[in-house]
Structure 1
Amino acid sequence: MSFKDLQLNKPLRRAVAEAGYDNPTLVQEKAIPAILDKKDVVVSAQTGTGKTAAFALPILQLLFDQQDAPKRGKKIKALIVSPTRELAVQIAKNFETYSTYTNLRTTVVFGGTSVEPQKDILKKGVDILIATPGRLLDLHKQTALHLDQVEVLVLDEADLMLDMGFIDDVRKIERLCPTEKQTLLFSATIPHKVEDLAKTILNNPERILVAPNASTSKKLEQLLYYVPKRNKIELCLHLLRNTIKGHIIIFRRTKFGVSKLEQTLLKNGYKVDSIHGDKSQSARQEALNKFTKKEVNILIATDVAARGIDIDSLDAVINFDLPNIPETYVHRIGRTARAGQTGVAYSFCSADEKSYIKTIQQLISLQLDVIDDHPYPLDPKAKPIVHTSNKKSKHKKGRKGKGSKQKKKRWY
């Protein structure tokens, strides 16, 4: 099937061809006709399947006839809500690429940066707005934007949006848009809370499922290292010196963990940068640019900061800390072995993370390859470390101290 078969017009097909895409992906084949028919859709597809174009192209086509409104007369006709800044920026880049041969104006707004330049752009009039929930509601409160003309509302990465606690914001945004609109919900997985949201805000949606929820690439090797928690940094250095080469993302659970590992790798002479929630937007973007341009070859990230990053030719992913949500594992390793390339995912498992491995393997229906041949093996009988205090209370259990027995004058 070609993009012409999907009834896309010439300006869009030309932009797609110049961007280097010959044929639509499976999610595009299924979603584009439904969206052009103005149906509400729920799409379940992993990152790396081309889902941004699956909603960007039909939206641009639907708005094509309204493109010549005078700049100041332009009203927000399509709203794309995204959970993270990085993902919002990525979506905006895609819209700009595909709308090269149209007069449709796109802009992106997100928190962590000055609000005034964003207000100025909105004042000039835009057709398509990509936004993170917090900044969108801030701008609406300041009457810097109006959503009463929105024809298409897209909720992208809905599962992450709800995991991050944006459910009330999403419902509020949906209510600010007109009742008569087309709503498109895209999510890597469809857990109960996403299902509940879809039932309440979508109108008789068409459901599009591309590959099972837990699909992992056939060209991706998944290796598992059992290692004591205290030896994870040594194992990481050992593998970077001897085994893992190229362009690598390392995932850690916390911002503190990211910073600690970054300092260690820098001391050991590696070219490293990091992204996490405490970094300013400009610092995060700079780190991403350096990584994309291969000025640094290792990027350390937390899950929230790394969602939606579109990086080609990633050689390996290291799960330094295993995620407690099995779907997160699928998102992480989906960063490598994209578009037919090969890749390797390395996972470090300490005694307290063994239960995570169990749920991950159940989800992906695959036994991970355990690598025993390394310098820091975990004793199979090792129990999770439980931190307890050795100090015992001087008071007997259930006995009150002298002070509490004295009759105290109460202020009331």
Structure 2
Amino acid sequence: MVEKLAQFTDIRCCLIVGGLSTKIQEVALRSMPDIVVATPGRIIDHLRNSLSVGLEDLAVVILDEADRLLELGFSAEIQELIRMCPKRRQTMLFSATMTEEIDELVKLSLNKPVRLEADPSLKRPATLTEEVVRIRRARESNQEAVLLALCLKTFKRSVIIFSGTKQSAHRLKIIFGLSGMKAAELHGNLTQAQRLEALELFKKKEVDFLIATDVAARGIDIVGVQTVINFACPRDVKTYLHRVGRTARAGREGYAVTFVTDDDRCLLKAIAKKAGSQLKSRIVAEKPVAECARLIEQLEGQISIIIREERVEREARKAEMEIAKAENMIAHKDEIYSRPKRTWFATEREKKLLAAAAKESLDHGKSTSGVISAKKAEDLRLKEKRRREHEKNLPRKKRRRLEAQREMLEDEDDEKTKENDRGKQPMKGQSLVDAAYRKAKSLKAASKRAPGA
């Protein structure tokens, strides 16, 4: 969008996000662009690990979707990025929903801030028509059929469909494709290049339906979106507002249709109460739903075959990538090992803690037993920092002994994680390779403790 706005000016801009080539991005940053659009993690990576890349000439910092940036996983990165910025700068925060939590980010990054509010945070445009499709418990198995009937008969162009999971979004995309409907998918299982391609197809009207998770709920401005369908009911009012905000933009008319099961009724009431919306009820005729249900039932065999073939293809592609990586490491061994190790402002343990807390934030309202809170994640991060500082002052032998013990614990954690990912029970015994590995580790630790080590 920035490139389109600046196409008739001398302003140069570049995009710095994960999933794309770091080398190309390094070249773009060294050319001193006027505007850099970046995700926090990737720009920090370049600032720490790329030569001749810095923020010395930075004049303005813009934090878009400020409430999103406060979520764990983004919060620590934003704090680090703000710390690396020069003090003499202008900082602006933008968000569709300005919550109390934003005060934390304001205190961190702004000096004598001025607040500007365009519209009340829960107000939606008058040109937006909001409807609800009730899915009774007896018809929950036909929810896909109801969606297919709606898209075949009523909403046929420029439709964004929000699904609850990546697997569900992919399955819907397959169903739409087999039903002769042009659709693209957008979710976390895709690479950055695949996501950009899906968005481009939808923008150019080459596909009529974009089936997405909440990845597409924020920060995406696509002209002419006629309908938003919440196939999976949003978790809260804020998510609902971001989803329906993809349509009825800039004075245009738009529809927002939400599927509501019996389990979602309380959430629906909360949305209607807090957002003050006038929700209309839409009834889908039984006949087209029954026809679509029969069609999906006939397609189940093909759907299973496609998913199975994709899984095999994905595994084969992964194996090819591993082989290519190994060959590359052998062919360019000297060059690879001569490169300085990439650094990060947090340890692996801290990153795991932040990821666990981010998962808790994402699954808010579900069971969170065993998942740490935001406060605990921050406390543990500070505790880890103090521990590292304390270890620096220990005698060399004691420090090596602690490092060896920590490495063994991390190896055990990695093994448990791999076993859980494979969905297998932990082995009762241990292989000769495992025994030899552990023996070598213990001998290494013992040799470090020996006198004169």
Q: Which runs of 5+ in 2 are unaligned?
A: 291-453
CA contact (8 A) 2:159 2:227 kept: yes
Q: Given the alignment, which residue of 245, 249, 255 partners 1:334?
A: 245
Structure 2-normalised TM-score? 0.60
SS of the residue corresponding to residue 317 of structure 1 reads strand
| Aligned pairs (5 A) from 1:269-308 | 269-308=180-219
SS of the residue corresponding to residue 92 of structure 2 reads strand
- Counterpart of 1:187 in structure 2 is 95
- Give a deviation string over 1:286-324, Cα, whole Å, max 9, x none: 111111111110000111244222211111110000111
Greater alpha carbon shift after TM alignment, 350-359 vs 159-168:
159-168
| Aligned pairs (5 A) from 1:1-400 | 90=1, 92-94=2-4, 96-97=6-7, 100-102=8-10, 104-144=11-51, 145-163=53-71, 165-227=73-135, 228=137, 229-372=140-283, 374-375=285-286
CA contact (8 A) 1:314 1:337 kept: yes
Larger helix percent: 2
- Judged with a 3 Å threshold, the aligned counterparts in structure 2 of structure 1 residues 165 and 94 are, in CA distance, closer, same or farther, namely farther
- Judged with a 3 Å threshold, the aligned counterparts in structure 2 of structure 1 residues 254 and 164 are, in CA distance, closer, same or farther, namely farther
CA contact (8 A) 1:327 1:360 kept: no
Tell me which amino acid in the other structure corresponds to 2:173. E
- Give a deviation string over 1:263-306, Cα, whole Å, max 9, x none: 11111111010111221111111111111111110000111244
Q: What is the CA–CA distance in structure 2 between the aligned matches of 1:198 and 1:332, rounded to whole Å?
A: 25
Structure 1-normalised TM-score? 0.66
SS of the residue corresponding to residue 107 of structure 1 reads strand
Larger strand percent: 1
- Judged with a 3 Å threshold, the aligned counterparts in structure 2 of structure 1 residues 240 and 164 are, in CA distance, closer, same or farther, namely farther
Tell me which amino acid in the other structure corresponds to 1:107. C
Q: CA deviation at 1:198?
A: 0.8
CA contact (8 A) 2:169 2:212 kept: yes
More contact order relative to length (CA 8 Å, sep ≥ 6)? 1
Q: CA deviation at 1:236?
A: 0.3
Larger CA Rg, structure 1 vs 2: 2
Q: CA deviation at 1:221?
A: 0.9
- Give a deviation string over 1:199-245, Cα, whole Å, max 9, x none: 23211111111111011111111110110432210110111122222
Aligned residues: 284
Q: What is the CA–CA distance in structure 2 between the aligned matches of 1:198 and 1:325, rounded to whole Å?
A: 24
Q: CA RMSD in A?
A: 1.8
CA contact (8 A) 2:70 2:105 kept: no
Q: What is the CA–CA distance in structure 1 between the aligned matches of 2:28 and 2:108, rounded to whole Å?
A: 33
Q: What is the CA–CA distance in structure 1 between the aligned matches of 2:131 and 2:117, rounded to whole Å?
A: 28
Q: Which runs of 5+ in 1 are unaligned?
A: 1-89, 378-412
Q: CA deviation at 1:192?
A: 2.2
* Aligned residues with identical type, % of pairs: 37
Q: CA deviation at 1:174?
A: 0.5
